[in-house]
Every structure is written in C-alpha cells, then in structure tokens.
Amino acid sequence: MELFNDYIEKAKEMEPTFEDKIVAQKGIMRSESFNENFEYIERMLNKLYEKTRILQNISEYTRTFLKTQVVGQKEELYELLKEAETTRDSIKRDGYKKRTLLFTEDLTAKKIDRDGIEIAPTSVSNGAITLLGKEEEFVPIKEVKVDREIALTQSNNKNILDGEPVRNFYLLDGPAPHGVAETYKLEFEKESYVTQIDIQNVNSDIKVVELIDKTNKKIQVTKQAATGFKRQLVSSVEVTIVDTSYRQVTYEYDATRMSSDFWHKVAQKEYAKEMGLSNSFDLEKESGLRQYKEDYQTYLNSVSAWEAERSAVNQRNAQMQSAYESAYSAWAINNPGAYDRS
C-alpha cells in the first residue's frame, strides 16, 4: 500500500502549466533563448513520459491489488461455505436417527377408507409399500402368441402354458444391430384382475409390459409391473423383451460340397449344446470338408500316377533312342562310303 501512495504523490508533482516558461522572441531571433525554450520543452516531455509511466504503474498495481483482494475474499468465502456444510452434515447426522418400521400384514381383515371403499391389501417390498401380490385365484393361460422380426431357429415357447421356463435360440450371420426383440401376448381363458406381473428374465431386458382389456385397450405398466399397480380387469398381457447378447461361432465349409441342410443341422447342434443335449452332428461330413479332402487326395493320386507314367515313357523313349543310336553307329562302321556323294 505504501508503494501505491508513493505513486500517487509522485503524480501530484506535475506542474499545472508551463506556458509562462517559454518566452516569445520579438525582432531579432536569439539562438540562446531558442535553445532554452527547446531545452525546457524537452525537459517537460521527459517529465510527461515519467508521469505516464507512473500512471501505468498505478494502473497495473491497482489491477493486481484488486485481483489479490478478490481471490482472497473468494477463498475466505469458500472456507466459510465449507465450514457451513460441515456443520450442516454434523447437525443432520446427530439430529435424527433412522428407524425401520415393521408392518404386520393382516390378510383376513378388510380395510375400508373414509369413503367406504375397500382398500387392496399391501405389503413391503424392498423398503416400499406396494400392493400385495396375493394370488386370489389361478388364471390359466389359454394361448401364447409371439411376434418377432428375426426368424427363430429353435424354441420351447409352449413351456409357458405349463409354467416352465422358455428359451429361444437364433442362428444369424452376424450380431443383430439392435438386438433380438420378442413380443409375447399371453391370453387368459377369462378376464381377470391383475395387480402385479412377475417376470423372471435371463440374458434379456424387459422393454414394455402392457395390460390389454376386452376392448383391446392397452395400459402400460412397465415400471410398476414388478412392484404392483392399481387392480385392472384384463384379458391378456403383452410383454416385449430384447436380447443383445450373443456368442460368435466360426464354421469352415465348402460351399460346393456342403449338405443342403447344413445350416439347419448346425442350428440343431448349437441348440443341443446350449441345452446340454446329445447330438450326432458330423461337422466334417456335413460341411463338405471330408469330401473336399477325399477329392483332393484323389487329385494328388492322379497327379502321382501321371508323373509315374511320364517317367516311364521318358525312360522307354531314352532306351529306344539309345538303341537307335547304337544300331546307326554299327551300320555306319560297316558302310563307310554309304553317304559319300562326292
């Protein structure tokens, strides 16, 4: 701060006017006065430059000073906020205690609200009060309909009618971009009241759960399906699931020798493997690789036979050539002038 005050005092030393210091010349110009005037002007310009530098220093110092003050106040404010949060957490921690309340379910007594309407029984599920999923009656499923965009390879959808798990198997050329989606429509034998739908899904995600009444009106209960919802009189339930998981399997085959139902047999083999069932699938035979190997071996045998035959022919030709040359040499010796035509 003292440095800042020094700058201010230095700036006050600037003379208010300097016009009376310069004397106008009349008549004959005197070089001495002329030089004095310019010397004074130069001195004043130097002082002006000095004052300008002082003002610049004042400006920079002021900016630095204010920035330091703001940062300091900001840090102090953060410390105060931190202390306030710590105090708040301490008060929150010590100000109350959590208690778990146990609800006793009385399924025999009917509960009536102030308007005289019977209240459906409730239960506690995962810490939340939900409608009680008490089975009032068994509602058989009359029919199961499944819609899918991708052709199914193997399935046991009929297990739903017996309350057994369902597993579907798809064999694709590659992973489905958006997964494999299936929509199950479970039709009841009669209209029934439903308050909860328990779906045990494996390797899939539940996307949509809808209730359908006799007028074909749909009520979506996707988020409330597992915990419970207001009792609805419906004739069917529609559930859409999506599976994005897959297992990649590589097969080698000869497209010109493979069996006509190769991929169908592959699907049966993979399904049996997944289900832990036995399967007599002969991959080498059905893929045509065995026939390819046999054909290739036959080709190699033919090449070997041809090579052997060619070698035998060359040997016979060499023998005949040698015999011919020997006979010719003997004849030439016995007939020395036979070709002398001079």
Query: Is the Cβ–Cβ distance between 170 and 204 less than 8 Å?
Result: no
Q: Which two tokens stand for residue 155?
A: 């399935």
Q: What pLDDT, on a 0 to 100 scale, did the predictor assign at position 210? A: 92
From CA 240, how far away is CA 65, in angstroms rounded? 67
In which element (H, E) is residue 67 found?
helix 31-95
Q: Which residues contact 219 (CB under 8 A, 6 or more apart)?
A: 210, 211, 212, 213, 232, 234
The domain spans of the chain are 2-91, 138-243, 252-336
Copy the structure tokens of residue 61: 């110092």
Q: C-alpha dihedral over 293, 294, 298, 300, to 10 degrees?
A: 20
Give φ, ψ of 210 to 5 degrees: -130, 140
To 5 degrees, how large is the angle CA 146–CA 148–CA 151?
115
Cα separation, 161 vs 5, whole angstroms: 95
Q: Amino acid identity, residue 125?
A: S
Q: What is this structure's pTM?
A: 0.45
pLDDT in tens, the chain (342 residues): 556 566 566 666 655 555 556 666 666 667 777 788 788 888 888 888 888 888 888 888 888 888 888 888 888 888 888 888 888 777 666 555 555 555 555 555 666 777 777 666 666 666 666 655 555 666 778 888 888 888 777 777 788 888 788 888 777 777 777 888 889 898 988 888 887 787 888 888 888 999 999 899 998 888 877 767 777 889 999 999 898 877 777 878 888 888 888 887 888 787 777 777 788 888 888 888 888 888 888 888 898 989 988 888 888 888 888 888 888 888 877 777 655 554
Q: Are 243 and 203 in contact (CB under 8 A)?
A: yes
